[in-house]
Structure 1
Amino acid sequence: MTYIIAEPCVDVLDKACIEECPVDCIYEGNRMLYIHPDECVDCGACEPVCPVEAIFYEDDVPDQWKNYTSANYGFFEELGSPGGASKVGKIDKDDPFVAGQPPRGEGH
């Protein structure tokens, strides 16, 4: 089990969660952030600092955002486990489900 970032993060990318993560397991894609399921230690530090309330424990993801669970896992299929987001920086991709979402937020 891990934490999942859902729809409210799409096109927001606030990154407060990255600053709170003690194990550097939150990776940045083009349109949202993703939590690495194998690197996350389930500490929950990221959840309360998310300004858009986009982070949920995997079992608690609201039904309307369940597709973000598979998108979160899918983002890491090719990437594997690099051992920390700061080692790789921003990744120029998103899971196909996220990439196909309509633009959100200001500036879109």
Structure 2
Amino acid sequence: MTFVVTSNCQRCRFTDCVAVCPVECFHGDKEMLYIDPDECIDCGACVPECPVEAIYDETEVPPEQIEWIEINAARASELPVVAETETPLPTAEERRKQLGFG
């Protein structure tokens, strides 16, 4: 079992989640973060830290987001680790509002 970053992270890239990750399993591109399923230890510490509720246990990913399980596995393996909190994207606050979070 692992955790999965879903489409809510797109155009946000809030990195609150990486600050609490004990194993540095987050990887990122210019648009969002991904979790490496081979590195994730299933602790779940990242879930409550995400301000846009983009992270799910792989067994609880909503049906319309199921493709993100494979996307995370594929993308994480080819991207650099993100282990420190960074400034969110300039579109993050607007995206958060569009998603219905504050």
**Shorter-chain TM band:** 0.7 to 0.9
Q: What value does the CA root-mean-square deviation take over the aligned residues? A: 2.2
Query: What's 2:95 paired with?
Result: 105
Runs of 4+ residues over 4 Å off in structure 1: none
Give 1:19's aligned amino acid: A
Using the alignment, how far apart are the partners of 2:40 and 2:64 within structure 1? Answer: 23
Q: Residues of 1 paired with 2:52 and 2:33: CA distance?
A: 12
Quote how far apart the aligned CAs of 1:58 are.
0.5
Q: Tell me what 1:64 maps to.
A: 64
How many residues matched? Answer: 86
How many percent of aligned residue pairs carry the same amino acid? 38
Identify the structure with bigger relative contact order (alpha carbons < 8 Å, sequence gap 6+).
Answer: 2
Separation of aligned partners in 2, 1:67 and 1:25: 19
Q: Which residue of 1 aligns with 2:6?
A: 6
Instruction: Return the TM-score normalized by structure 1.
Output: 0.71
CA, structure 1 residues 64+70, in 2 after alignment: closer, same or farther (shift >3 Å)? same
Provide the residue aligned with 2:53 in structure 1. 53
Is 1:43 the counterpart of 2:33? The answer is no
User: Secondary structure, in 3 states, of the residue corresponding to 1:34?
Assistant: strand
Q: Is this contact kept in 1: 2:7–2:65, CA < 8 A?
A: yes
Instruction: State the 1:86 CA deviation.
Output: 5.0
Question: Normalised by the size of structure 2, how large is the TM-score?
Answer: 0.75
Tell me by how many angstroms 1:31 deviates. Answer: 1.1
Q: Which residue of 2 aligns with 1:94?
A: none
Q: Distance in 2 between matches of 1:73 and 1:86?
A: 15
